[in-house]
Homo-oligomer: A and B are copies of this chain.
Amino acid sequence: MSKQEKSQEREEVSLASRGGQSSVDETGEFCPKFDEHGLIPAVAIDAHTREPLMLAWMNEESLLQTLSIGEAVYYSRSRQELWHKGATSGHTQTVLEIRTDCDQDALIMYVEQQGAGACHTGRRSCFYRTISPGDPASLNFDGDRTFDPEEVYRTKA
């Protein structure tokens, strides 16, 4: 399917305007606050294990696409482009629920992680290192590789 066809196929969605809110924390309208770069942080959590998988960023367009296609679409700050997670690796994230916080400047997404993992290093979660109590300059690894990133990204590229 071409990009254009996919775009035409997706359901039209829109957000509420933030300007009209007297109280962002008690309103029933979704009016997310994007920062000065037009971005909002989104934390993907495994819907079944409750393990946090990654923290990435969305701009308004990526959030609308996420809502529309039901899969996580982020905004890559390094590549400065929309980033449909898993488009290369096949490790897409099916979004089951999105929550926002009192200030509406952060998002939590409960997702079904497809494939072997979320992290580009070949691990299930990006949060595979803990800070050592008493020696915060050093990290402990506790997430094993679940796939070979070189193979996955080479094959699917």
Interface residues of A (CB under 8 A from B): 13-16, 25-30, 41, 43, 45, 50, 52, 54-55, 64, 67, 97-103, 106, 108, 119-121, 123, 126-131, 136-141
Q: How many copies does the complex hold?
A: 2
Are B131 and A102 in contact, with the CB atoms below 8 A? Answer: no
Are B136 and A108 in contact, with the CB atoms below 8 A? Answer: no
Give the interface centre of A41, A102, A120 by most chain B CB atoms within 10 Å: A102
- Kindly state the separation between the CA atoms of A16 and B131 in the bound complex, as whole angstroms: 12
Of B30, B98, B99, B131, which one neighbours A67 at CB under 8 angstroms?
Answer: B131
- For the complex formed, measure the closest distance between the CB of A16 and the CB atoms of chain B, giving whole angstroms: 4
Are A136 and B67 in contact, with the CB atoms below 8 A? Answer: yes
- For the complex formed, measure the closest distance between the CB of A70 and the CB atoms of chain B, giving whole angstroms: 8
